Structure 1
Amino acid sequence: MSRLEVAEENEDLRKPFLHTGSWYKMGSRQSSLMGMTSSAQILRDSSVSVVFCVLVVALGPIQFGFTCGYSSPTESGIISDLGLSLSQYSIFGSLANVGAMLGAIASGQIAEYIGRKGSLMIAAIPNVIGWVVIAIANEASFLYMGRLLGGFGVGVISYTVPVYIAEIAPQNLRGSLGAVNQLSVTIGMMLAYLFGVFVQWRMLAVIGALPCLLLIPGLFFIPESPRWLAKMGLTEDFEASLQVLRGFETDISVEVNDIKSSVAPTTKRKTISIAQLRRKRYWFPLMVGIGLMMLQQLSGINGVLFYSTTIFEDAGVSSSNVATLGVGVIQVVATAVTTWLMDKAGRRLLLIISSCSSFISLVVVAIAFYVQSYVSEDSSWHSTMAIMSLVGLVAFVVAFSLGLGAIPWLIMAEILPVSIKGLAGSVATLLNWLVSFAVTMTANLLLNWSSGGTFTIYATMMGLTIAFVTLFVPETKGRTLEEIQSSFR
């Protein structure tokens, strides 16, 4: 299709929306755009259109964060009301990770076969059902079932949203828009902490269902990923989707050709053999993506966030729920700063700064807990160490949010070649949730064993992260996805 024909068709598309506000009957061309709404199609400015799409799918990560944050303010209430033991509650908290692992296994293939929007729809439905089951639970088995269902949806969301954002964003905004994924996760956590201060755990579960209840209709108002459409050979749909995202007055011919060139080998060869994965263009980005996803969780961040109220109580902080809420607010602010810095400072530099700062913070917390265990509760040293541990924990959350929170998900979406993205993305996401499960399952038990020892283990993992990022992680700022992926050849 020539540039003039595209412009004429786009003008025809705009007229009915601008003058009548209703769908124009356009035969097969109209049906190819039914996945978009009138709201998406009248957005003429590229950044506005893309930001609108990102804000819609960001409801998924908000749900993700709410799921992670839910177990912190509700621990005492659920244990008291349902008579659970600490071990049973630890199982409840960690089952979100088990469900997420199942979702991660399926996420890549679901996203490849039915598209990014379809996989988000599949993720939203069990999420809503899971929250309803938790809200009406009268025994541990209902809690476990609801947590598994919600975790499954979170597993699919955690892979699909960063991939969708990376595939629709222009290269100059991809870092900032990609960081919105983690910003939304932190907002979800903060909301769980905030409402957890005021409402009972059953009502908090009802509130938890709201993001996905809004996401389901929102998906009808955004276009499908143009790169996925191109990979599936839906050329007209692909060009129409990209035109909506870039604006009707924008010449997309260069980007269309780049995307077509990058997906051409994929359309010819549907599967990648194990032998072909030995090529550097495949194994190196896969190794970087998996390494970052595992090390992100080995920092212990989910153990800290899931059970922050308990940790603050152990540190001697009287208003532990309020302190937890404060951590949630600080995490949102720090992640918002990362969103602004992502396309300015670069991914690699932020990762190094984040890893080093996290290491120092965790060492401070470990020292504070060690000293606190050897002094009397009535001494001034005990209160001083309580303050020191609180400051160290807050510093760790800030440091993690400055890079390790958002960037591994973004880099995974950027560097994995389109031909292996479904399978490799599923594996990377699965391992992320597998390590997260191990961390959250053992966090309470480790803290009961030794708070200082627990944070020493986490600090050691951060030392390994510094070495890994320095040696292996490339800079992806300011490059198109096609340029990044072709560089591994």
Structure 2
Amino acid sequence: MSFRDENEDGRDLKKPFLHTGSWYRMGSRQSSVMGSSQVIRESSISVLACVLIVALGPIQFGFTCGYSSQTQSAITEDLALTVSEFSLFGSLANVGAMVGAIASGQIAEYIGRKGDVSFLYMGRLLEGFGVGIISYTVPVYIAEIAPQNLRGGLGSVNQLSVTIGILLAYVLGLFVNWRALAVLGILPCLALIPGLFFIPESPRWLAKMGKTEDFETSLQVLRGFDADISTEVNEIKRSVASSSRRATIQFSDLKQRRYWFPLMIGIGLLVLQQLTGTNAVLFYSSTIFETAGISSSNIATCGLGAVQVIATAVATWLVDKTGRRLLLIVSSCGMTLSLLVVSVSFFLKDFVSDDSTFYNVLSILSVVGVVSMIIAFSLAMGPIPWLIMSEILPVQIKGLAGSVATLANWFFSWLITMTANLLLTWSAGGTFFLYMLMCAFTVVFVTIWVPETKGKTLEEIQWSFR
């Protein structure tokens, strides 16, 4: 079905819109006209409630990322795994996520935005599959339900939830063994499943699927029963009508700037997010702290997780005030300088005695550098690539392009996770120097190519690429 300037009941989409959904008619009879501030408040509460429910998915995502850091010593000792075997275990979540990523875009398009050593490996693989789907559908769902003035902050809740999940894995790992920790890791998704029955479907997805009345009802619930949604309804319908005129996208169409440019930006940011090495730090932070000479490495890792949560919370407040592009530049510059400090510290430690004062100073510098890198990452490179991907991909190619972008992210996450332990064994200083070079390239990439999307509707962003 495609939308025209008039829909089935003859209503002109360019004229003021009167909602016909039964839910809204009931709500209208029961409520009086509210002031604009009350409408905004009702809208914010409705959307925030939906975001908090779906945010349980990224908590599961983060728990998966943080699990391997706190359990490395115990698992390798209990199951007599080598460094290579544990690296395989740590990276299997990414392999599963790649499979999930391939399916995620199409699943989201067709059903909506809301669904011994061998066993050890299989469990990690299946967990990753679910995480791969969550990593695409949650930021897209949040972007599609959020008002434009709140989209940046609410979109950043996705990454904030990931960091909370990582911190939970770190802290709980101090008190329970690796088997019990794995069981505790299922709790976020167990809470998410019933919560999904209480939130509306994405109105933009419903509009694309031709479910006109459901789409309008969903949007009215999200914006508040007495909010005037006519302008937003018409914008979405015109966008869907434009994309419906040609449902099939040919490979040759990707040569058009309106397609290849946002796809390049979305994939580029998600790939660079991984190549900067943050997952290597998060997955194997305990090992890194031990290499730096920190005796209580697990406690230090928990401190790192807490710092990441705080920095990401700050990012959710900043992103709609300062804009996406500026934060990305500041973030990638901060990561470059931090990794330079870490790299130089590890290089110099090879030339001094382990019991010297200078060695201790270098150990402190390396830890400060790692913490600074995580803070800088959390301010933008953590939350914003997922946010921008969900904002800029044209609706015609969103399912396929979103899958490709998410697949690229998880492939390079797997590559970094699989090679991090081996690279650290080769040279800690050299490993962080390689990551530093990728951070420096990220500064260039963002400065030249990434547009500012702050304060624009999704339809305005996608029209700008034409």
TM range (shorter): over 0.9
Match of 2:436 in 1: 459
Match of 1:40 in 2: none
Match of 1:254 in 2: 231
Match of 2:181 in 1: 204
Structure 1 stretches of 4+ with a deviation exceeding 3 A read: 1-9, 13-17
Match of 2:78 in 1: 81
Do the aligned partners of 1:369 and 1:389 also contact (CA within 8 Å) in 2? yes
The structure-2 alpha-carbon separation of the partners of 1:9 and 1:156, relative to structure 1 and needing over 3 Å to count, comes to closer
Following TM superposition, by how much is the alpha carbon of 1:86 offset from its aligned partner in structure 2, in angstroms? 1.4
Matched residues, number: 446
Aligned AA (2:410): W
Match of 1:157 in 2: 134
Match of 1:317 in 2: 294
Do the aligned partners of 1:44 and 1:248 also contact (CA within 8 Å) in 2? no
Q: Which one of 49, 55, 59 corresponds to residue 56 of structure 2?
A: 59
Match of 1:114 in 2: 111
Q: Give the Cα–Cα distance (whole angstroms) in 1 for the partners of residues 110 and 265 of structure 2.
A: 25
Match of 1:385 in 2: 362
Do the aligned partners of 1:44 and 1:249 also contact (CA within 8 Å) in 2? no
* Structure 1: 5+ residue stretches without partners: 18-42, 122-138
Q: Which one of 97, 102, 107 corresponds to residue 105 of structure 1?
A: 102
Aligned AA (2:408): L
Match of 1:10 in 2: 24
Aligned AA (1:388): L
Q: Give the Cα–Cα distance (whole angstroms) in 2 for the partners of residues 263 and 109 of structure 1.
A: 18
Following TM superposition, by how much is the alpha carbon of 1:15 offset from its aligned partner in structure 2, in angstroms? 7.0
Aligned AA (2:355): D
Q: Give the Cα–Cα distance (whole angstroms) in 2 for the partners of residues 452 and 100 of structure 1.
A: 29
Give the structure-2-normalised TM-score: 0.93
Match of 2:393 in 1: 416
Deviations 1:218-243 (A, max 9, x none): 00000000000000010000000000
Deviations 1:437-468 (A, max 9, x none): 00000000000000000000000001110100
Do the aligned partners of 2:340 and 2:432 also contact (CA within 8 Å) in 1? yes
Following TM superposition, by how much is the alpha carbon of 1:321 offset from its aligned partner in structure 2, in angstroms? 0.2
Counterpart check, 1:276 vs 2:253 = yes
Match of 1:352 in 2: 329
Counterpart check, 1:443 vs 2:420 = yes
Do the aligned partners of 1:232 and 1:267 also contact (CA within 8 Å) in 2? no
Following TM superposition, by how much is the alpha carbon of 1:358 offset from its aligned partner in structure 2, in angstroms? 0.2
Do the aligned partners of 2:324 and 2:453 also contact (CA within 8 Å) in 1? yes
Following TM superposition, by how much is the alpha carbon of 1:6 offset from its aligned partner in structure 2, in angstroms? 3.7
The structure-2 alpha-carbon separation of the partners of 1:7 and 1:421, relative to structure 1 and needing over 3 Å to count, comes to closer
The structure-2 alpha-carbon separation of the partners of 1:235 and 1:319, relative to structure 1 and needing over 3 Å to count, comes to same
SS across alignment from 2:112: helix
Following TM superposition, by how much is the alpha carbon of 1:267 offset from its aligned partner in structure 2, in angstroms? 2.6
The structure-2 alpha-carbon separation of the partners of 1:9 and 1:189, relative to structure 1 and needing over 3 Å to count, comes to closer
Do the aligned partners of 1:68 and 1:305 also contact (CA within 8 Å) in 2? yes
Do the aligned partners of 2:27 and 2:225 also contact (CA within 8 Å) in 1? no
Do the aligned partners of 1:233 and 1:267 also contact (CA within 8 Å) in 2? no
Match of 2:383 in 1: 406
Q: Give the Cα–Cα distance (whole angstroms) in 1 for the partners of residues 311 and 41 of structure 2.
A: 32
Following TM superposition, by how much is the alpha carbon of 1:4 offset from its aligned partner in structure 2, in angstroms? 4.8
Q: Which one of 250, 257, 270 corresponds to residue 293 of structure 1?
A: 270
Following TM superposition, by how much is the alpha carbon of 1:85 offset from its aligned partner in structure 2, in angstroms? 1.4
Aligned AA (2:70): P
Following TM superposition, by how much is the alpha carbon of 1:326 offset from its aligned partner in structure 2, in angstroms? 0.3
Q: Give the Cα–Cα distance (whole angstroms) in 1 for the partners of residues 358 and 261 of structure 2.
A: 49
SS across alignment from 1:73: helix
Q: Give the Cα–Cα distance (whole angstroms) in 2 for the partners of residues 411 and 246 of structure 1.
A: 22
Aligned AA (1:318): S
Following TM superposition, by how much is the alpha carbon of 1:16 offset from its aligned partner in structure 2, in angstroms? 9.0
SS across alignment from 1:434: helix
Q: Give the Cα–Cα distance (whole angstroms) in 2 for the partners of residues 164 and 190 of structure 1.
A: 24
Following TM superposition, by how much is the alpha carbon of 1:142 offset from its aligned partner in structure 2, in angstroms? 0.6
Deviations 1:2-56 (A, max 9, x none): 7455488514157799xxxxxxxxxxxxxxxxxxxxxxxxx98100000000000
Aligned AA (1:141): S
The structure-2 alpha-carbon separation of the partners of 1:8 and 1:63, relative to structure 1 and needing over 3 Å to count, comes to closer
Q: Give the Cα–Cα distance (whole angstroms) in 1 for the partners of residues 454 and 27 of structure 2.
A: 34
Q: Give the Cα–Cα distance (whole angstroms) in 2 for the partners of residues 12 and 456 of structure 1.
A: 62
Aligned AA (1:249): D
Following TM superposition, by how much is the alpha carbon of 1:79 offset from its aligned partner in structure 2, in angstroms? 1.1
Do the aligned partners of 2:336 and 2:439 also contact (CA within 8 Å) in 1? yes
Q: Give the Cα–Cα distance (whole angstroms) in 2 for the partners of residues 87 and 15 of structure 1.
A: 66
Q: Give the Cα–Cα distance (whole angstroms) in 2 for the partners of residues 95 and 402 of structure 1.
A: 28
Q: Which one of 234, 241, 251 corresponds to residue 218 of structure 2?
A: 241
Counterpart check, 1:50 vs 2:47 = yes
Counterpart check, 1:191 vs 2:168 = yes
Alpha carbon RMSD of aligned pairs, Å?
1.7
Match of 2:7 in 1: none
Q: Which one of 206, 209, 212 corresponds to residue 232 of structure 1?
A: 209
Following TM superposition, by how much is the alpha carbon of 1:160 offset from its aligned partner in structure 2, in angstroms? 0.5
Q: Give the Cα–Cα distance (whole angstroms) in 1 for the partners of residues 22 and 146 of structure 2.
A: 25
Return 103-112 or 266-275, whichever deviates more.
266-275
Deviations 1:55-76 (A, max 9, x none): 0000000000000000000011
Do the aligned partners of 2:315 and 2:379 also contact (CA within 8 Å) in 1? yes
SS across alignment from 1:465: helix
Do the aligned partners of 1:230 and 1:238 also contact (CA within 8 Å) in 2? yes
Q: Give the Cα–Cα distance (whole angstroms) in 1 for the partners of residues 438 and 427 of structure 2.
A: 17
Aligned AA (1:88): E
Match of 2:343 in 1: 366
Aligned AA (1:342): V
Do the aligned partners of 1:335 and 1:401 also contact (CA within 8 Å) in 2? yes
Do the aligned partners of 1:100 and 1:156 also contact (CA within 8 Å) in 2? yes
Do the aligned partners of 2:19 and 2:216 also contact (CA within 8 Å) in 1? no
Give the structure-1-normalised TM-score: 0.89
Match of 2:313 in 1: 336
Match of 2:87 in 1: 90
1:210-221 paired onto structure 2 within 5 Å: 210-221=187-198
Deviations 1:320-354 (A, max 9, x none): 00000000000000000000000000000000000
